[in-house]
Chain A
Amino acid sequence: MESKHHNRTMMLSRVSLLVLGSYFILCLASCSSQKKLDAYSEIYSERPQVLYIAPLNDLSMRHAFRTIDDSIYNLSLNIAAKHLYLSAADPLIRHGYYLPGPLASAQIAATEWRTGKQLRNDDIKDYYTDLGIDAVLFITLHGWNATYNTWTVEVEYVLRSARTGNELFHVSVNAMKVLNTDFKGKLLPLREDVDFARRYGCDVETAQRCRLVEILNQYVLKDLPSGLKARQHTTEGYIPSHPEFFNLKIHPDGSVQMLKTELYE
């Protein structure tokens, strides 16, 4: 009897070890093989400390106003776009960079207004000489899409050095969020989405979009090397980095899965 129990416990331990090991292996395999030190070599050499997030370049389509639903849809997209901009600062601040807040950024943007094209192609050295900004992050929102139970957003992140004008970081992501449905086919929003809607005083649809872009920001910008003030700055160079193009799938249980795209391969 005791021997049977012993065997069962041994088996359980082996199975759990196997599960743990396979999970780690899967996690590692899902990441690209390129290390941060190689992928972001320019960031490591330039060591930017002060970042500035330029106003969002929103290229997503809005509905022409015909019914009240169109204006509600447009308002929802506007709020989600604003949230995309506002929530981009958090992961960077946590990484040890200096970033001005949204009100201060609005004041800077009012004096130093550039379009997305100008930020990408023109000389932005005056950001460094006049304002002391080391690098400018500009985010382009390409579009939203929604199918039966999936929300999709396409976002491009570019971090450009104001000192040298080089592109330090360039990532395009197609993020999708999958929702569960009940037996009648009705969508079941996540608890976090409902909490978010209650906290922000918006509808659940807007909250789902906002949470999607928030998770996307967290996932993408967390990959940047830590700033000079962070103690991980010198030790994290050998961690695998994200590829330049990828799809991101957010499951109903809240887990995030990165899928490589054909463009990358």
Chain B
Amino acid sequence: MECKRHIKAKKLSCISLIAFSSYFLLSLTACSGEYVGVSRADVLRYQTVPTYGALHELATSYAQSLNDAVRVDTLHPGMYAEYGVALALMGHTGTACRMLNAEMKAFPESRGLVERIKKRLMPDMLFDTLATPHDTANLAQLASWAYDSITALKPLPPVAPVIDSTDSVWISQQTPVDSIEYPIRLTATQKRELLEKQQAEEAARQQHVADSIAAVKQATIDARKQAQADREREKKEKEQARKAEQKAREQQREEERKQKAAQREEERKRKAAEREEAKNNKKKN
């Protein structure tokens, strides 16, 4: 009996300890900050430095998370729209429109938001709310609708196979995603263009840095030269002023000397005249 009680008590203590530790762990993990779907690191990186390369990385991340979400059926709100906006910013408006339409279809409450985004990013595709894998899809959809609705078209045998061939997956598609992969499919030309664009961006950045450094250096050299020229000009001006002053002083001195010589001459003449006059007076007396 005692042994049974002992086992019961032991069990109880174990269960309560497990419950306590699991509750504590759960409370800790609830605060660990998991992310919904996409990698916030890529979003943060793009928002901090919004370059084309960062946007491409972000779009790839969105594509991967969208693929995973579709595969395991954990589609979060806004995933299609985010990927669509990223593609639209990169210039892939056709696929972007498809993604935004898929968002509207998966989350009908997002219609107003998605229409505003389409109006801003691709106004020419505002009313294109069909799934459009290629340019002729709308036409094919219209033809399909006409074939279904207008009975006069039914007996025409050549129309049906044409429409069927055009409408392979997309027109009969009810759900926006089933087994569709969403990587960014780049052709060789697009890849080359992307690489060239990134290289051009990097080169432009480096050129900008080099230009800035060269401009600063040139400005420093110019400033030094200017200061040297100013100093020399000042020195020259001072020299000229000093020379002019010296010349003026010499001229003045020369004039003074001439004046004194003239005075002396006058004095000498006056004295000679006086002497002459005195001699004449003596002779008269």
Cβ A214 vs Cβ B78 within 8 A: no
Residue of B nearest to A52 (CB): B113
Residue of A nearest to B59 (CB): A103
Cβ A200 vs Cβ B78 within 8 A: no
Instruction: Say which residue of B3, B20, B43, B77 sits within 8 Å of A99 (CB atoms).
Output: B77
Taken together as a complex, chains A and B put the C-alpha atoms of A5 and B38 apart, in Å, by 54
Residue of B nearest to A222 (CB): B30
- Interface membership of chain A positions 185-196, coded 1 if the CB is closer than 8 angstroms to chain B and 0 otherwise: 000000010000
Chain B residues lying within 8 Å of A254, measured Cβ to Cβ, are: 28, 31-32
Chain B residues lying within 8 Å of A192, measured Cβ to Cβ, are: 32
Taken together as a complex, chains A and B put the C-alpha atoms of A103 and B35 apart, in Å, by 16
- Min CB–CB distance A260 → chain B (angstroms): 19
- Min CB–CB distance B33 → chain A (angstroms): 4
Instruction: Say which residue of A2, A104, A256 sits within 8 Å of B31 (CB atoms).
Output: A256
- Min CB–CB distance B86 → chain A (angstroms): 6
Instruction: Say which residue of B19, B40, B58, B111 sits within 8 Å of A86 (CB atoms).
Output: B40
A20 proximal to B (CB < 8 A):
yes
A219 proximal to B (CB < 8 A):
yes
- Interface membership of chain B positions 60-102, coded 1 if the CB is closer than 8 angstroms to chain A and 0 otherwise: 0000000000000000111101100110010000000000000
Cβ B31 vs Cβ A100 within 8 A: no
Q: A52, A107, A255 — which one has the most chain B CB atoms within 10 A of its CB?
A: A107
Instruction: Say which residue of B16, B36, B117 sits within 8 Å of A20 (CB atoms).
Output: B16
Cβ A98 vs Cβ B48 within 8 A: no
Could you tell me the dominant secondary structure of chain A's interface residues? helix
- Min CB–CB distance B65 → chain A (angstroms): 11
Tally B residues with Cβ within 8 Å of A: 51
B47 proximal to A (CB < 8 A):
yes
A79 proximal to B (CB < 8 A):
yes
Chain A residues lying within 8 Å of B36, measured Cβ to Cβ, are: 89-90, 93-94
Give B181-199 interface residues, CB cut-off 8 Å to A. none
Taken together as a complex, chains A and B put the C-alpha atoms of A12 and B117 apart, in Å, by 62
- Min CB–CB distance A76 → chain B (angstroms): 11
B116 proximal to A (CB < 8 A):
yes
Give B92-151 interface residues, CB cut-off 8 Å to A. 107, 109-113, 116-117, 120-121
Residue of B nearest to A130 (CB): B112
A3 proximal to B (CB < 8 A):
yes
Cβ A214 vs Cβ B48 within 8 A: no
Taken together as a complex, chains A and B put the C-alpha atoms of A110 and B120 apart, in Å, by 9
Chain A residues lying within 8 Å of B13, measured Cβ to Cβ, are: 9, 12-13, 16-17
Cβ B43 vs Cβ A86 within 8 A: yes
A72 proximal to B (CB < 8 A):
no
Cβ B76 vs Cβ A16 within 8 A: no
Taken together as a complex, chains A and B put the C-alpha atoms of A89 and B76 apart, in Å, by 11
- Interface membership of chain B positions 135-177, coded 1 if the CB is closer than 8 angstroms to chain A and 0 otherwise: 0000000000000000000000000000000000000000000
- Using a CB–CB cutoff of 8 Å, the interface residues on chain B facing chain A are 2-3, 5-6, 9-10, 12-13, 16-17, 19-20, 23-24, 27-28, 30-36, 38, 40-41, 43-45, 47-48, 58, 76-79, 81-82, 85-86, 89, 107, 109-113, 116-117, 120-121
Q: Nearest 3 A-B pairs (CB), nearest first?
A: A132-B112, A13-B13, A101-B82
Could you give 25 example pairs across A and B, Cβ below 8 Å?
A2-B2, A2-B3, A9-B13, A13-B13, A13-B16, A16-B20, A17-B13, A20-B16, A20-B19, A20-B23, A23-B20, A23-B24, A52-B113, A87-B33, A93-B78, A99-B78, A100-B82, A101-B82, A103-B85, A107-B85, A131-B116, A132-B112, A200-B44, A201-B45, A250-B31
